[in-house]
C-alpha cells in the first residue's frame, strides 16, 4: 500500500513539474510576504492544536483517562510516522507505540483512529460539496438549488421512516433495538456535536490557510468566499489516503479548483506547495520540541472490561447505522447539473463514502489486503480500475478530459467502489448478521417504494389527482430515471427472495406490480426471467410465486380499468427504440475506428455534444465497454463477470452457502439482461449488495449479537 501511494505521488509530481513553467512557479513562491507566512504558520499550528484536542476528547469518550499532554504528544509524533509509512498505518503505529505506556490496547487505538478519520471525512465531504457548488457558479448553484427544491421532502422522510421501521420490525437484533433507543438521548447528540464542531474548526483553519496564500500569490481580485470554496475542495482531496501526505493530489486538485476561478496553473501549484511545505515545517518543529521534552513516567491507564465492551458497542453501533441508513437511502437520487452535464447524486453517497473510507482505513491499519470470499476480487478491482484509467488517458489524448468522463465515470467509479467496500465492511465486521440486515433493509425499502408507486397510480386512476398532487407526487421526483428505479426494485426483489425461502408473497407481489407500472420493457423481461430462474433454482417456492403474481395482477388491474388513456399509454409505451439503436450504431463505429484500445472514456458523449449539443449515453453496457475501453478493457470486466457466475454455480451446490450464491447469481443475471438495453454498470445498489454478499465466508442461520 505504501508502494502504491509513493507511485501515485511520484507520477503526479512528475506530471506537474513537466507540464508547468517552473520559473513562473518559483516567482510565485518568492512573492509571498513574511507577515503572511507568519499568519499561515499560525493557522496551521491552530489546526494541529485543535486536532490534538479532538484526539484527547475522543480518548475520554472511550473511557481512557490519558492526560492532555501525553495525548498531544502521541497525536503529533504519530503524524511523523504517517510521513514515513502509509499515512493511516504510520499514524496508527505511532499512537500504539506512545499510548502503550499508558495501558491503551492496540485494538482500542485502531477504533479511535477509524472514528477520527471517518469524522474528518464526513466534515470534509460537507465542506467540499459546498465548495464545489460555489465554484461552479451562480447559474449552476441556482440549478442545484432548484433541483433540490423540487424534491418532496415530507414524502421522502415518510418513505425513509417506513422503510427503516419495516426493516427493524422484520429483522432487528436486540442490540440494534437498544441502539435506536439510545440514539434518541441528548447525551449522544452532545458528544457528536462536540467532536463535529472541533473537526469543522480544525478544517476551517486549513481552509483559511489556503485563502491566505491564494489571496497573496494570485494576481486576481478574488472574494474570500470563492477562495474558501476552492480551499475546501483542495483540503478534502489532500486528506484522501491515496498519496504520501497528500503530495501530488493536493497540487492537482489545486489546479482544478483554483482554475475554476481563473487562477493560473503555476500559481495554483505554488499555493498548494507552500501550504504543504509550511504544514510539514510546523509539524516537524512541534514534534522536535515534544521529542526533546521529557515525559514523566506515566501511570498505566486501567482499561476495565466495561470500557472494552463500550468500545466494541460503539463499533457495532456505527455498523448498524451504516447498514440501515445506506440500505434505505440508496434508492433516492438526483440529477444535479454540472458544466452542462447531469451528475447523478444519491442520498446514500455520503454514507457510502464514509463506509468505503472506514473499510480502507481498517485494512490499511492491519496492513493486509481485504479477504473476500473470492480470492481474486482484489486483483479484479485493480484491473478494472487500471482499465478505466487507461481509457481516460486515451480519451484525454484524443479529445481532452470531458466533464462527463471526469465527473460521471472517473470520480463516479470511486463512488461505486465505496459502495462495494461499504457492503464489504458490513459483511466482514458484522458477519452473517450484517449481510442479512443489509438485505432486509434493501428489501424493506423496496417494498415501501413499490407500494408508494402503486398508491400514486391508484389515486390518479380513481380520479383523485388533487390528493395525488398533495400527498403522492410522482416518485420520479425522488428518482428521475424510471429504468434505474426498475433495476433497483428488481434487486430489492432478489434480496427479498434471498432472505428466507423466497420472501413474503405480499412483498414480492407489490414489487412486481411496481416494476410493471414503471413501464420499463427491459424491466419486464428481466423480472420475468428472475422469477422463472428463481423458481427453477428453488429460491422461491412455486406456490408462493403464483400467489405473488396473483396479488400483482390485483394491484395493477384497477389502474387499467379505471385509469385514463394517457395513464395507460404512459405505462405501455416507451419511445426510446430509435435513440437506443442510434447509440448501438455509434458505439460500433467508434470501435471500428479504434479497434485496439477503444475510443477513450467519454468518446461517444463527446461526439454527441459536438454534433447535437445534447448528452446521450450508449444504451448497452457491453457495447459501451467495447467502444471506449477496447477489447482488453472489455475482457477485464467481462472476465470478472463470468468469474462471479462460475463461483455462484459452484458454491450454490453447498447447503450453507447455496441461498446466498443463488441470490448473487440472480443479481448477475439481472444486470446482464438489463445491460442489453441500458447502461447499468454504475448502479450503486448492485455494488452495495455484491460487496455485502461476497464479503463473508459463511451465510448460515441467524445469530444474535452478544450483549
Under 8 Å between Cβ of 437 and 486? no
Residue 703 has pLDDT above 50, yes or no: no
Give the span between the Cα atoms of 546 and 565, in whole angstroms.
29
User: Can you give the residue ranges of every domain in the chain?
Assistant: 2-142+202-302, 364-694
* Structure-block grid coordinates of residue 660: 446466498
Least confident of 380-389, 446-455, 522-531, 564-573: 564-573
Helices of type H across 400-481: 403, 412-430, 432-461, 465-471
CA dihedral 177, 178, 183, 186 (to 10 degrees): 140
Q: Which residues contact 285 (CB under 8 A, 6 or more apart)?
A: none
Question: Rounded distance, CA 141 to CA 143, Å?
Answer: 5
pLDDT grade for 689, boundaries at 50, 70 and 90: very high
Cβ contact 66:102 at 8 Å: yes
Cell of 614: 445534447
Whether the CB-CB separation of 442 and 689 falls below 8 Å is answered with yes
- Mean pLDDT within 493-510: 82
Higher pLDDT, 92 or 348: 348
In angstroms, the Cα distances linking 201 to 53, 275, 287 are 11, 18, 22
Mean pLDDT of 370-384: 87
What average pLDDT does the segment 277-306 reach? 68
Q: State how far the Cα of 354 lies from the Cα of 367, in Å rounded to an integer.
A: 20
**CA-based nearest residue to 692, from 357, 239, 352, 403:** 352
- Cα 698 to Cα 682: distance, rounded to the nearest angstrom: 27
Quickly tell me which residue has 434487486 as its cell: 491
* Position with higher pLDDT, 249 vs 434: 434
pLDDT over 70, % of the chain:
75
Say whether pLDDT at 338 is over 60.
no
Residues 697/432, Cβ–Cβ less than 8 Å: no
Which pLDDT score, from 0 to 100, does residue 669 have?
95
Q: Which residues contact 382 (CB under 8 A, 6 or more apart)?
A: none
CA 626 to chain centre: 26
pLDDT at 368: 66
Mean pLDDT of the chain: 79
Q: Calculate the alpha carbon distances from 16 to 248, 250, 255 in Å.
A: 8, 11, 10
* 3-state SS class at 8: helix
For residue 572, what are the β-bridge partners? none
Mean of pLDDT values over 425-433: 81
pLDDT at residue number 684:
93
Helix (H) or strand (E) holding 644: helix 621-651
Query: Each residue of 629-646: pLDDT tens digit?
Result: 999 999 999 999 999 999
Which residues, in sequence order, are bridge partners of residue 335? 344
As a whole number of angstroms, the distance between CA 433 and CA 322 comes to 13
The candidate with the shortest Cα–Cα distance to 647, out of 638, 637, 655, 657, is 657
Which helix (H) or strand (E) is 324 found in, with range? helix 305-329
* Res. 647: pLDDT tops 80: yes
Rg (CA), the chain: 27
pLDDT winner (highest mean) among 243-257, 297-311, 421-435, 666-680: 666-680
Angle between helices 349-365 and 87-99 (to 10 degrees): 60
Helices (H), 20-152: 22-30, 34-61, 68-84, 87-99, 106-135, 137-149
Cα–Cα distance for residue pair 359/369, rounded to 1 Å: 11
Residues in the chain: 707
Confidence of residue 254 (pLDDT cuts 50, 70, 90): confident
**Global pTM value:** 0.74
Task: Supply the pLDDT for residue 210.
Answer: 87
Q: What is the pLDDT confidence band of residue 371, given thresholds at 50, 70 and 90? A: confident
pLDDT digits (tens, 9 = 90+) for 91-134: 766 777 777 777 777 667 766 776 777 777 778 878 887 787 77
| pLDDT value, residue 685 | 94
* pLDDT surpasses 90 at 650: no
Q: Is it the case that residue 501 has pLDDT exceeding 70? A: no
**Cα(697)–Cα(427) distance, rounded to whole angstroms?**
9
- Residue 548 CA to chain centroid, in angstroms? 34
C-alpha cell at 358: 472506514
- Phi-psi map region of 332: left, alpha, beta (phi>0 left; psi -120 to 50 alpha): beta
d(CA 236, CA 352) in angstroms, rounded, equals 16
pLDDT for the residue numbered 139:
45
Dihedral angle at the C-alpha atoms of 303, 305, 310, 315, nearest 10 degrees? 90
Amino acid at each position: 500500500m505504501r508502494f502504491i501511494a509513493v507511485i501515485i505521488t511520484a507520477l503526479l509530481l512528475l506530471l506537474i513539474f513537466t507540464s508547468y513553467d517552473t520559473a513562473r512557479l518559483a516567482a510565485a513562491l518568492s512573492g509571498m510576504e513574511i507577515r503572511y507566512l507568519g499568519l499561515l504558520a499560525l493557522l496551521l499550528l491552530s489546526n494541529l492544536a485543535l486536532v490534538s484536542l479532538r484526539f484527547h476528547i475522543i480518548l475520554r469518550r472511550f473511557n481512557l483517562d490519558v492526560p492532555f499532554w501525553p495525548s498531544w504528544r502521541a497525536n503529533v509524533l504519530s503524524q511523523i510516522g504517517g510521513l514515513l509509512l502509509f499515512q493511516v498505518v504510520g499514524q496508527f503505529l505511532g499512537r500504539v507505540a506512545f499510548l502503550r505506556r499508558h495501558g491503551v490496547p492496540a485494538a482500542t487505538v485502531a477504533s479511535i483512529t477509524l472514528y477520527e478519520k471517518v469524522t474528518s471525512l464526513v466534515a470534509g465531504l460537507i465542506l467540499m460539496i459546498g465548495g464545489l457548488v460555489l465554484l461552479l457558479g451562480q447559474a449552476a448553484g441556482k440549478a442545484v438549488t432548484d433541483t433540490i427544491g423540487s424534491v418532496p421532502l415530507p414524502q421522502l422522510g415518510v418513505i425513509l421512516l417506513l422503510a427503516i421501521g419495516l426493516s427493524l420490525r422484520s429483522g432487528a437484533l436486540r442490540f440494534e433495538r437498544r441502539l435506536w433507543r439510545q440514539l434518541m438521548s441528548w447525551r449522544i447528540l452532545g458528544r457528536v456535536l462536540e467532536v463535529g464542531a472541533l473537526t469543522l474548526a480544525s478544517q476551517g483553519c486549513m481552509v483559511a490557510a489556503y485563502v491566505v496564500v491564494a489571496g497573496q500569490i494570485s494576481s486576481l481580485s478574488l472574494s474570500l468566499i470563492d477562495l474558501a470554496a476552492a480551499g475546501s475542495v483542495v483540503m478534502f482531496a489532500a486528506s484522501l489516503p491515496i498519496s504520501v501526505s497528500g503530495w501530488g493530489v493536493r497540487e492537482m486538485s489545486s489546479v482544478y479548483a483554483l482554475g475554476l476561478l481563473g487562477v493560473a496553473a503555476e500559481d495554483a501549484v505554488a499555493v498548494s506547495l507552500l501550504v504543504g511545505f509550511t504544514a510539514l515545517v510546523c509539524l516537524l518543529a512541534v514534534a522536535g520540541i515534544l521529542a526533546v521534552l521529557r515525559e514523566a513516567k506515566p501511570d498505566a491507564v486501567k482499561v476495565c472490561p466495561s470500557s472494552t465492551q463500550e468500545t466494541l458497542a460503539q463499533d457495532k453501533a456505527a455498523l448498524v447505522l451504516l447498514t440501515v441508513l445506506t440500505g434505505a437511502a440508496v434508492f433516492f437520487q438526483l440529477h444535479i447539473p454540472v458544466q452542462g452535464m447531469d451528475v447523478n447524486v444519491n442520498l446514500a453517497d455520503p454514507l457510502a463514502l464514509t463506509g468505503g473510507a472506514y473499510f480502507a482505513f481498517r485494512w490499511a491499519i492491519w496492513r493486509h489486503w481485504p479477504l473476500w470470499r473470492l480470492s481474486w476480487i482484489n486483483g479484479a478491482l485493480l484491473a478494472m480500475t487500471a482499465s478505466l484509467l487507461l481509457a481516460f488517458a486515451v480519451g484525454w489524448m484524443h479529445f481532452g478530459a470531458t466533464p462527463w468522463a471526469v465527473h460521471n465515470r472517473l470520480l463516479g467509479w470511486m463512488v461505486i467502489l465505496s459502495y462495494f467496500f461499504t457492503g464489504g465492511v458490513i459483511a466482514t465486521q458484522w458477519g452473517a448478521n450484517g449481510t442479512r440486515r443489509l438485505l432486509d433493509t434493501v428489501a424493506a425499502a423496496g417494498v415501501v417504494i413499490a407500494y408508494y408507486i402503486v398508491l400514486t397510480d391508484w389515486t390518479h386512476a380513481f380520479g383523485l389527482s388533487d390528493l395525488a398532487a398533495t400527498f403522492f407526487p410522482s416518485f420520479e421526483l425522488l428518482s428521475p430515471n424510471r429504468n434505474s428505479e426498475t433495476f433497483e426494485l428488481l434487486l430489492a426483489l432478489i434480496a427479498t427472495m434471498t432472505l428466507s425461502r423466497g420472501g413474503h408473497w405480499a412483498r414480492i407481489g407489490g414489487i412486481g406490480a411496481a416494476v410493471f407500472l414503471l413501464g420499463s420493457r427491459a424491466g419486464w423481461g428481466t423480472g420475468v426471467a428472475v422469477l422463472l430462474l428463481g423458481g427453477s433454482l428453488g429460491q422461491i417456492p412455486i406456490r408462493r410465486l403464483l400467489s405473488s403474481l396473483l396479488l400483482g395482477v390485483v394491484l395493477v388491474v384497477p389502474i387499467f380499468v379505471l385509469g385514463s388513456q394517457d395513464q395507460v399509454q404512459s405505462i405501455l409505451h416507451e419511445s426510446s427504440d430509435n435513440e437506443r439503436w442510434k447509440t448501438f450504431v455509434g458505439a460500433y463505429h467508434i470501435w471500428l475506428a479504434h479497434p485496439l484500445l477503444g475510443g477513450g472514456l467519454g468518446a461517444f458523449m463527446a461526439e454527441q455534444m459536438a454534433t447535437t449539443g445534447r448528452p446521450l449515453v450508449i444504451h448497452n453496457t457491453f457495447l459501451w465497454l467495447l467502444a471506449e475501453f477496447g477489447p482488453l478493457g472489455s475482457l477485464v470486466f467481462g472476465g470478472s463477470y463470468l468469474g462471479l457466475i462460475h463461483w455462484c454455480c459452484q458454491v450454490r451446490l453447498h447447503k450453507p452457502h447455496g441461498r446466498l450464491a443463488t441470490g448473487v447469481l440472480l443479481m448477475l443475471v439481472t444486470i446482464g439482461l438489463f445491460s442489453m438495453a441500458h447502461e447499468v454498470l454504475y448502479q450503486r445498489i448492485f455494488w452495495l449488495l455484491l460487496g455485502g454478499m461476497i464479503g463473508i465466508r459463511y451465510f448460515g442461520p441467524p445469530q444474535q449479537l452478544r450483549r
